Amino acid sequence: MILRNVAIGIILAAIVAAIIVATGVVRFDRPATTPDNPIASASAPAPAQKRGGVLRVFQYDSPASMSIHEEAFNSAQNPTMAVFNNLVLFRQDVPQNRVDTIEPDLATKWSWNA
């Protein structure tokens, strides 16, 4: 049974790789970057970003409301975190949230009660 599953997985991976190569999603004809030519793959500068518009983000659920204080689930808190400010935030570059990684957002100072 395990050998059969492994064989099916290898066959599916080969089919996906063949489709990717056939459709041209991955291109192999780009020049490689070298120390002499570090930007060989960038043929033209990227166009400037346009201000304004609509940001569309995938949401896996339909929150009951946009009130971050009334909703307890991530389906409501994740989209509202981008809309509302917080008093404090954890540093985003640290993988583990700890007390020493708190940064101010709206708060200017805080202290711990002993």
2-60 confidence digits (pLDDT tens): 888 888 889 988 888 877 777 766 665 555 566 666 555 555 667 777 888 887 877 77
- pLDDT score, position 58: 78
**Domains contained in the chain, number:** 1
94 falls within a domain: yes
Mean pLDDT of 90-98: 88
4 falls within a domain: no
pLDDT band at 114 (very low <50, low <70, confident <90, very high): low
73 falls within a domain: yes
What span, in angstroms and rounded, lies between the C-alpha atoms of 87 and 106? 5
Sign of CA dihedral 88, 92, 94, 95: positive
- Asked whether 96 and 82 are in contact (CB, 8 A), the reply is no
- pLDDT score, position 40: 53
82 falls within a domain: yes
Nearest to 79 by CA among 89, 87, 67: 67
34 falls within a domain: no
- pLDDT score, position 44: 62
- Maximal C-alpha separation, the chain: 65
What span, in angstroms and rounded, lies between the C-alpha atoms of 25 and 7? 25
- Rounded to the nearest 10°, the torsion over CA 24, 27, 30, 35 is 160
21 falls within a domain: no
71 falls within a domain: yes
Nearest to 59 by CA among 72, 75, 70, 80: 75
Domain that holds residue 82: 59-113
Could you tell me the pTM of the whole model?
Answer: 0.34
Q: Is 37 left (phi over 0), alpha (psi -120 to 50) or beta?
A: beta
66 falls within a domain: yes
